[in-house]
Chain A
């Protein structure tokens, strides 16, 4: 399959120094069977308009940098192929719900500087052990309790899929809450108490109305909607003071 076809790519353009608001610009881009949407954007930058600005790095769906709205759906652009949109056109926008800095580049600082640090994304042990005490042991069963939630690559597709985050930007949001569950569910971690204030808040798990689109778009099958809604039960038990009996490793 080496035959080259041409597809129309419509890109949202925004130059903060000139534009009051964004507009769309169309490009005719040649593609083959294995051309990703990201490669389409790279073709535009290399051959048609060098000023087009977008983030990318690994090109293999693990760095989480190249998330864009592709025809209205949050996607990793390296993981999405132009052939699937032909003969229609492809409309590429920056990830929804984030402020646009330039063209397809969004301001991620709300997540990386506020939301993510707020959930303390690291193992909080009950007490620090000296190195000489050796490693923490964990059974495969204990490992599987959090493994799925540890697969998050911080690509923010779930935030672009979450209307609650768009409407109420204070909502801690899917990835941060799923990562909070990843640590709370870890047998080595005793950090429930230091994270519970964020979890129990109106902007924590209770800010979720189970739209469920976050889990639908997650490229790593983390299932943030599941992580959040399981913790509505934990939050309720915490409120009534019964969590510490059920979760002996955490809560108190």
Chain B
């Protein structure tokens, strides 16, 4: 089902703008269309604007009046402040939470991509026993809800696993460590990454690969010097999808990293803040905005890849 969506994305852009046929018949609905669009966009913007505005208002003011009242007197500077952000980043602990999120999200993005790219290359251009079966497995695992994996993996992390007295998985004390959550995210992201990259790498022209082989390049060289550079669009699309997925994730971080101040990621910190100081809006909104800042930067700077990544990654367990 993912393939169908990706296919749609790959189709050539048919027309950038209707221009010509607008004059044929659609002139009547012009105002209706514009107003409806404007109203919907406005409704969609209101929640985010509320957070943004409140995050810059002083504690006393935001506690006393609704944020929309500021439109009556937007230039009353005594009501504006940066102190909220200072407090959230400092005593609120959101600076270290931000760094922890980076430490979780970057390797959790790169590791599955590297592993999936090697696997995708093998599935596309190498022949070996069990190739088809293994790939069907990958396709099947794509929609497994990750709730199915939480309990057993946490058990592996805290006490290892043994089979009839034989230790098959050592007790690595991975619970609460970065390595533990990287591996978990790698496992959950891998089926989709392998599937997408295999579709892309498999559609590269075979003549390129074959001529490199004739020139004496081994598989590792072909993969690293030829296939990876050619697959940058697919790699970037998945990278953005996975990065945002991990950055915005609460569940996996809650289970494997927990809420201690040293390791908690930004979503956990925010969720805890809601629990402990749910009505301190000056702090909640600035903290929320800190957590959204990076995804929004990614969104605005890499919008094309972002859309491609999200639509490609639409089905994930």
On whether the two chains bind one another, the answer is: no
Residues of A participating in the B interface, judged by any CB pair closer than 8 Å: none
Interfacial residues, chain B to chain A (CB-CB below 8 A): none
